[in-house]
């Protein structure tokens, strides 16, 4: 089983040189730590920044400089700042190459639920509903099963949706699964699991890629 860091490391491989990328809150934020330093990648923060840099030193700490998770950050050279309408114009307008988001549930046709548990929690969707329709590619990272061991990759989501048919790839602690027009395809299995193990802990129908590979936690 991959750790949170290993999931983030695997997700970082989705990023290509030259990409503009939006990373969601939580494990997706960790992905930034694993982008190779020789790649020119610009991270977007939907509160109005292109070019998120590392966390600041105590001396650099600036209360006016935060990411969408409200963490204090810095900017990289070449960064730009803008208002919230401009920020979502670049998201909705298809200018962001990739968004990596967390999920509570994903369905076999790529529906995503990650914002609300009825009666339990009210937080709001933030920018997730805009991102899933705007970014050119949506990669979701999540644990394969919930804390009761039940599948989170389902035939149909039980929770209120964030977006319908929006997910392109699912990376979990046990597998990598692609959403295709024909349904879900298992493309990588984490070391220590068999294809049968993955099928057993996935409610949705899974086909197995002819080029299936094993994924080793680094």
Active site residue 60: no
Binding mask 58-77 for other proteins (x = CB under 8 A): x--xxxxxx-xxxxxx-x--
Phi-psi region of 35 (alpha: psi -120 to 50; beta: other; left: phi over 0): beta
- Report in angstroms how near the CB of residue 142 gets to other proteins at its nearest: 18
What is the Cβ-side half-sphere exposure of residue 131, based on CA atoms within 13 angstroms? Answer: 29
Q: Which of 84, 96, 101 is nearest to 42 (CA)?
A: 96
Query: How far, in Å, are 21, 65, 89, 131, 140 from residue 12 at the CA level?
Result: 11, 24, 25, 18, 12
Q: Which is nearer to other proteins, 33 or 213 (CB)?
A: 33
Interface with other proteins, residue 24, by CB under 8 A: no
Interface with other proteins, residue 43, by CB under 8 A: no
Q: Which stretch binds other proteins (CB under 8 A): 3-11, 41-49, 192-200, 210-218?
A: 41-49
Interface with other proteins, residue 56, by CB under 8 A: yes
Concatenated DSSP letters for 105-154? EEETT--EE-S-BTTTB----TTHHHHHHHSS-EEEEE-SB-TTS-BSEE
Distance CA 32, CA 109 (A): 28
Q: How many residues bind other proteins (CB under 8 A)?
A: 54
Contact positions with other proteins (CB under 8 A) in 106-125: 111, 119, 121-125
Q: Which is nearer to other proteins, 83 or 191 (CB)?
A: 83
Distance CA 102, CA 27 (A): 7
8 A C-beta contact, residue 171 and residue 179: no
8 A C-beta contact, residue 181 and residue 188: no
Q: Which is nearer to other proteins, 119 or 149 (CB)?
A: 119
Interface with other proteins, residue 20, by CB under 8 A: no
- Report in angstroms how near the CB of residue 170 gets to other proteins at its nearest: 19
Contact positions with other proteins (CB under 8 A) in 151-210: 160-165
Interface with other proteins, residue 31, by CB under 8 A: no
Interface with other proteins, residue 83, by CB under 8 A: yes
What is the Cβ-side half-sphere exposure of residue 15, based on CA atoms within 13 angstroms? Answer: 29
- Report in angstroms how near the CB of residue 188 gets to other proteins at its nearest: 29
Site of interaction with other proteins (CB under 8 A): 45-49, 54-58, 61-66, 68-73, 75, 81-85, 87-89, 91-92, 111, 119, 121-131, 133-134, 160-165
Q: Give the residue numbers annotated as catalytic, written as ranges.
A: 46
């Amino acid at each position: 089983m991959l750790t949170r860091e290993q999931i983030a490391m695997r997700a970082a491989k989705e990023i290509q040189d030259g990409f503009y990328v939006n990373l969601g809150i939580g494990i997706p934020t960790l992905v930034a730590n694993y982008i190779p330093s020789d790649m020119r990648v610009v991270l977007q923060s939907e509160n109005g920044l292109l070019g998120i840099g590392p966390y600041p030193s105590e001396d650099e700490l600036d209360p006016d400089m935060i990411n969408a998770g409200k963490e204090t950050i810095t900017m990289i050279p070449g960064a730009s700042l803008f208002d919230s309408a401009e920020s979502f114009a670049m998201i909705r307008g298809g200018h962001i190459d990739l968004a990596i988001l967390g999920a509570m549930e994903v369905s076999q046709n790529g529906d995503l639920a990650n914002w609300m548990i009825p009666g339990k929690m009210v937080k709001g969707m933030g920018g997730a509903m805009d991102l899933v329709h705007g970014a050119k590619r949506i990669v979701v990272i999540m644990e394969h099963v919930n804390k009761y061991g039940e599948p989170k990759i389902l035939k149909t989501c039980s929770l209120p949706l964030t977006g319908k048919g929006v997910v392109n790839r699912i990376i979990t602690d046990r597998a990598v699964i692609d959403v295709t027009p024909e349904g879900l395809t298992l493309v990588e299995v984490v070391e220590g699991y068999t294809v049968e193990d993955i099928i057993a802990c996935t409610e949705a129908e899974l086909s197995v890629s002819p080029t299936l590979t094993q994924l080793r936690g680094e």
